[in-house]
Amino acid sequence: MHGRRAVDRRQTAGIVALAAIAILLGGALLGLLAEAASNWSGAIAAFDGYMARIVRFTLWQAVLSTILSVVPAMLVARALSRHPDFPGRSLILRMFAVPLALPAIVAALGILALYGRAGYFAGIFSALSGETWPGAYGLSGILVAHVFFNLPLATRLFVEALDTVPADQWRLASQLGMRAGPSFRFVEWPVMRAAMPGIAGLVFMLCITSFTIVLTLGGGPQATTLEVAIYQALRFDFDPARAVALTLLQILLTAIVVAVLAKLGANVTGDANLSVASRRTREATRVETILNGLVIALALLFVAGPMLATVFAGLDADLGRLAGESTVLRATATSLVLAILSALLSVCLSLSLVMARRALELERRTGSRSLFERLADTGAGFVLVVPPIVIGAGWFILLRHTGNVFLLAPVMVVAVNAVMAMPFAIRAIRPAYDAASERHERLCALLGIGGRDRFRLVDWPVLRRPLFTGFAFAMALSLGDLGVIALFGSDAVQTLPYLLLARMGSYRTEDAAGLALLLGLLCLALITLADWLGKRADD
Amino acid sequence: MTDIADRRAGAAVALDQVIFSYGEASMVFDLAVEAGSITAIMGPSGSGKTTLLNLVAGFETPKSGRILIDGKDVTDAPPADRPLSMVFQENNLFAHLDVAANVGLGRSPALRLTAGDRAAIFEALARTGLAGKEHRLPREVSGGERQRVALARVLVRDRPVLLLDEPFASLGPALREDMLGLVADLHAERGMTVLFVTHQPEDARRLARMIVFLEDGRVAASGGTAKFFGRHGPEAFRRYIGSVAGSLQSRGFARKQT
């Protein structure tokens, strides 16, 4: 509507971004379908009893993980919400954000260092049970890891939901003399029940597509999920037909979950925007206060445990020697370069889609949305249906005849991780862009501010912070990823997570612990730095 | 400085059988406004007052008909190319730019300012009572002052038509009175054509020479202010004034609900 040329440019950017996503997904699909077509019987034959067992385990572990994460999370969130003023509350909530930024492989090592056969707790557990502690491998290990990631996430989302209760309702509740019971029944439970399908669905989705955890903590045919089976089919058995069958199943499964999630209106990127809890008086009795304190302390110990174990095990490693090792240095450099490129790409693609969507919305104003606008709106969400392993598998199969497929590792890692981070980056960028556009669109049109002037004077100052946030998130995600690189990695191209996995595989546990500490600190530093940069840019 | 002193007359504004449709609703505007006049646009909520201004400004595109400013067809011109300035009810300023920069954008959309531009900005800020507040951010000045900044930008842009979309509706009565006085003074100096949307009969009476009364997306009546407020004013307008007066007593002052 306003300033027609500028609008067109934003739409062009959106088309380019959508095309990039389409090529990435389309190429993978092409590889899968071409393989399926050329070896139809092989793909069909892959649907055997073993595969049924894998599907069953994939679903079973996801169901258990979801229940074990969401139910305690409700207790913890309620406890936190009942005591808005207690010291350390915001610190705890901040700490609950750490697992989200922590690479899965780092968490897996932390859990092994704590609950593993040779972990810090092995002695106590052996003494308690009277027999040698077998270690948290297989289903138990997977569950512990999934709860470690998802309990804090679900807690934050529930707290966010509870924070939406208007202050007047709390005042009313305390005026009516509601104690814990009635207050839960009439105020807290309705809000949490409304939020639960979305939160549980998100956790289920994350568990069903979890790769690294199952790869490192699962083991053997009894504890394998579809994603890990795809990886094994390609890297070890080299059975493309089987990989195709597994991949199509995985896509089907996630598509169903995402469709159900979308129906529930869930926030599939799962980042909680915690507002400062409103000051409110909630009288908890002494007994309740003690119980709440206990719940919070237990959750805190459970979440902090693996993190502390990572630190202690890492410090035990020969860090000096590791730091001098050329393989480690090269892997670090490779990781950083790939993560930076990936994050840049992710932010550019996300911003393009955000701008195009807004421009199309302004142009339309009434009536139904065009296909283009709907794609710009939710197009990035499609990548959630297609886990990185699946995209990687498709391209791996497509390109396996073109010489050395492992040399394509850098391109694949950058592209896939960039697209995977897009839903998160868009979540960071879009509200700020839309709000700024709402305020500035007419003014820019009136004053003739467009193109580069508009970006420099109007958009950049407003978007700096969300862009930094999106960049940091994408970079941390890419840095810690062990999906695509597990397929495409080789001695020639190693990232830190890949090297970590290799050291674990060759039982150099100390080295792995040291690398995990390095990787974990890198990711945390990034998130913290970006947060700080963003806040400073805001002032 | 010469720019400020240089008086430019207003330009005539005309809507020639302009048809605009928004979803189901359809509006027809046929209207001519004399150069250099002040015209109040009044009417109930949803009657199309803001739409009318948006059409003149170029934020909305008519389905058919022509919009003429100074006799030239501007129907297809983008907003920035039309010889007008507009002040909105809110969001007139970029929150992250200081007062001087917000005014400066009226001179150069790339904010590349010459010494002459800076002098003009300084003078416009002084003229609107904002001297000494050049480097404040919008959030550091009051609501009334923010609208003064927008008027200062109108001064440095110096376009022959000024559109006001209830910019003072959210101010208290005394402040609103001040701002109307400022607009009257600026009009006396510059002689630009002013079209302003208002819900306040006393604003129209105080400032406007002409009134355009809209109902259901059509011009229901138009004419001199004195005639409108006289005994033989248009029936629809009298009914509207009556209802506004009634609601004014209960609400203090009207604020557009958007």
Answer yes or no: do A4 and B92 touch at CB < 8 A: no
Residue among A3, A443, A453 whose CB faces B110 most closely: A453
Interface test mutation site (partner B, options A368, A444, A446, A452, max chain B beta carbons within 10 A): A446
Q: Left, alpha or beta for B23 (phi > 0: left; psi -120 to 50: alpha)?
A: left
Q: Which of B105, B117, B146 has the most A C-beta neighbours within 10 Å, making it the best mutation to test the interface with A?
A: B105
Give the pLDDT score at B15: 94
- Residue A386: CB atoms within 10 A of its CB come to 24
| DSSP codes of every residue in A380-442 | GGGGGTS-HHHHHHHHHHHHTTSS-GGGGHHHHHHHHHHHHHHHHHHHHHHHHHHHHHHHHHH
Mutate to test the interface with B, among A1, A447, A457, A459 (most CBs of B within 10 A): A447
Give me the residue label for tokens 């959508």. Answer: A18
DSSP state of A368: P
**From A367, A446, A461, residue closest to B79, measured CB to CB:** A446
Chain B residues with CB-CB distance to A1 below 8 A: 59-61
Q: Are A450 and B109 an interchain contact pair (Cβ–Cβ within 8 Å)?
A: yes
Q: Which chain B residue has the Cα nearest residue A539?
A: B96
With residue A217 as reference, give the H or E element that holds it. Answer: helix A212-217
A366, A367, A445 member nearest B78 (Cβ): A445
**CA A70, CA B153: separation in Å to the nearest integer?**
55
Chain B contacts of A365, Cβ < 8 Å? Answer: 22
DSSP H or E stretch at residue A530: helix A509-538
CA distance to partner chain B, nearest, from residue A1 (Å): 7
Structure tokens at B182: 């400022």
Closest CA to B196 of B188, B120, B209, B185: B209
* Residue B139 forms contact with A (CB below 8 Å): no
Are A1 and B61 within 8 A, CB to CB? yes
Q: Does A537 touch chain B (CB under 8 A)?
A: no
How many angstroms separate the CA atoms of B86 and A140, rounded?
66
Residue that is written with structure tokens 């406890």 in the block: A79
Per the structure block, which two tokens stand in for A205?
Answer: 């989705």
Q: Give me the pLDDT at residue A281, please.
A: 52
Tell me the ipTM for this assembly.
Answer: 0.78
Report the pLDDT value the prediction gives residue B64, as an integer from 0 to 100.
92
Find the closest chain B residue to A458 by CA distance: B94
CA distance A447 to chain B (A): 5
Contact B78 A2 (CB under 8 A): yes
Number of A–B residue contacts, CB under 8 Å = 66
B112 in reach of chain A (CB within 8 A): no
Region class of B43: left (phi > 0), else alpha (psi between -120 and 50), else beta: left
Contacts of A446 in chain B (CB under 8 A): 57, 79-80, 85-86
Q: What is the pLDDT of residue A4?
A: 46
Q: Give the per-residue pLDDT at A275.
A: 45
Distance CA B21, CA B38 (A): 27
Nearest-by-Cβ selection for B92 from A443, A448, A458: A443
CA distances from A63 to A116, A271, A304 (A): 23, 21, 24
Burial class (CB in 10 A: 0-12, 13-18, 19+), A39: middle
Q: Which residues pair with B162 in a beta bridge?
A: B85, B194
Chain A: residue whose CA lies nearest to B58: A2
Asked if residue B206 lies in contact with residue B180, where contact means CB atoms within 8 angstroms, the answer is: yes
Q: For residue A387, report the phi and psi dihedrals to the nearest 5 degrees.
A: -65, 155
Amino acid identity, residue A215? L
Beta bridge mates, B210: B39, B224
Q: What is the pLDDT of residue A361?
A: 83
A449 at B interface, C-beta within 8 A: yes
Smallest Cα distance from B203 to chain A, Å: 25
pLDDT for B33 beyond 90 = yes
Q: Which residue of A has its CA nearest to B96?
A: A461
User: Token pair of B134, please?
Assistant: 């050049």
Q: How far apart are CA A267 and CA A384, in angstroms?
A: 12
> What phi and psi values does residue B72 have, to the nearest 5 degrees?
-100, 140
User: Please, is B118 exposed, middle or buried when counting C-beta atoms within 10 Å of its C-beta (0-12, 13-18, 19+)?
Assistant: middle
Contact A367 B86 (CB under 8 A): no
Cα B65 to the center of its chain, rounded Å = 22
pLDDT given at position B13: 94
Torsion of CA B114, B119, B124, B130, to 10 degrees: 110
The sign one gets for the Cα dihedral B127, B131, B133, B139 is negative
With a CB cutoff of 8 Å and minimum separation 6, the contacts of A419 are A20, A21, A24, A346, A349, A380, A383, A391
Q: Measured between alpha carbons, how far is A517 from A532 in angstroms, rounded to an integer?
A: 22
Q: In what order do the strands lie in the sheet with B25-33?
A: B72-73, B64-69, B13-22, B25-33, B218-224, B210-215, B38-42, B193-197, B161-165, B84-87
Asked if the C-beta of B25 comes within 8 angstroms of chain A's C-beta atoms, the answer is no
Average pLDDT, chain B: 87
In this complex, do A1 and B111 lie within 8 Å of one another by their Cβ atoms? no
Could you report the per-residue pLDDT of B229-253, keeping only the tens digit for each? 888 888 888 888 886 655 554 444 4
Tokens describing residue A357: 């969507």
Residue A456, beta-bridge partner list? none
Probe site for chain A from B84, B94, B156 (most A CB atoms < 10 A): B94
Q: Does any CB of chain A come closer than 8 Å to the CB of residue B96? A: yes
Residue identified by tokens 């083991």 is: A219
Give contacts of A8 with chain B, Cβ < 8 Å. Answer: none
According to DSSP, the β-strands at B64-69 and B218-224 are: unpaired
**Contact between B107 and B187 (Cβ < 8 Å):** no
Question: What is the predicted pLDDT for the residue at B122?
Answer: 94
The partner residues of B84 in beta bridges, in order of sequence, read B161
Residues 67-86, chain B: which have Cβ within 8 Å of A?
78-81, 85-86
Within an 8 Å CB–CB cutoff, is residue B110 touching chain A? Answer: yes
B23 and A367 within 8 Å at the Cβ level: the answer is: yes
Q: What residues of B are in contact with residue A440 (Cβ under 8 Å)? A: 91, 94
Contact call for B59 and A449, based on CB within 8 A: no
Q: What is the 3-state secondary structure (H, E, C) of A149-211?
A: HHHHHHHHHHHHHHHCCCHHHHHHHHHCCCCHHHHHHHHHHHHHHHHHHHHHHHHHHHHHCCC
pLDDT for B200 beyond 50: yes
The average pLDDT across B48-63 equals 91
> What is the SS3 assignment for A258-321?
HHHHHHHCCCCCCCCCCCCCCCCCCCCCHHHHHHHHHHHHHHHHHHHHHHHHHHHHHHHCCHHH
Q: How far apart are CA A295 and CA A298, in angstroms?
A: 5
The span from the CA of B217 to the CA of B49, in Å, is: 8
CA distance A531 to chain B (A): 19
Q: What is the 3-state secondary structure (H, E, C) of chain B?
A: CHHHHCCCCCCCEEEEEEEEEECCEEEEEEEEECCCCEEEEECCCCCCHHHHHHHHHCCCCCCEEEEEECCEECCCCCHHHCCEEEECCCCCCCCCCCHHHHHHCCCCCCCCCCHHHHHHHHHHHHHCCCCCCCCCCHHHCCHHHHHHHHHHHHHHHCCCEEEEECCCCCCCHHHHHHHHHHHHHHHHHHCCEEEEECCCHHHHHHHCCEEEEEECCEEEEEEEHHHHHCCCCCHHHHHHHHHHHHHHHHHCCCCCCC
Residues 356-415 of A with CB under 8 A from B: 365-367
CA distance A91 to A88: 5
3-class state of residue A257 by DSSP: helix
pLDDT tens across the length of chain A (539 residues): 444 444 568 888 888 988 888 898 888 888 888 888 887 777 777 778 888 888 899 999 999 999 999 999 999 998 888 877 777 887 888 888 888 778 888 998 888 888 887 778 777 777 777 777 777 778 888 999 999 999 998 998 888 888 877 777 777 776 776 777 777 777 788 888 888 888 888 888 888 888 889 988 886 777 888 889 988 888 888 888 888 888 888 888 888 887 887 776 655 444 444 444 444 555 667 888 888 889 888 998 999 999 999 898 888 888 888 888 888 899 999 999 999 999 999 999 999 999 888 888 887 766 677 777 877 777 676 676 678 888 888 888 888 877 677 778 888 899 999 998 888 888 788 888 888 888 888 889 888 888 888 888 888 888 888 888 888 888 988 898 888 888 888 878 889 999 998 888 887 888 888 999 989 998 888 877 766 765 655 54
Closest CB from A448, A457, A458 relative to B80? A448
State how far Cα A33 lies from the chain centre: 28
Task: Check CB contact under 8 Å for B88 and A442.
Answer: yes
Residues of B in contact with A2 (CB under 8 A): 58-59, 78-79
Residue B91 has its nearest CB partner, among A1, A443, A445, at A443
B59: nearest CA in chain A?
A2
| Whether the Cβ atoms of residue A36 and residue A43 lie closer than 8 Å to each other | yes
**A189-208 helix and A49-82 helix, angle to the nearest 10 degrees:** 150
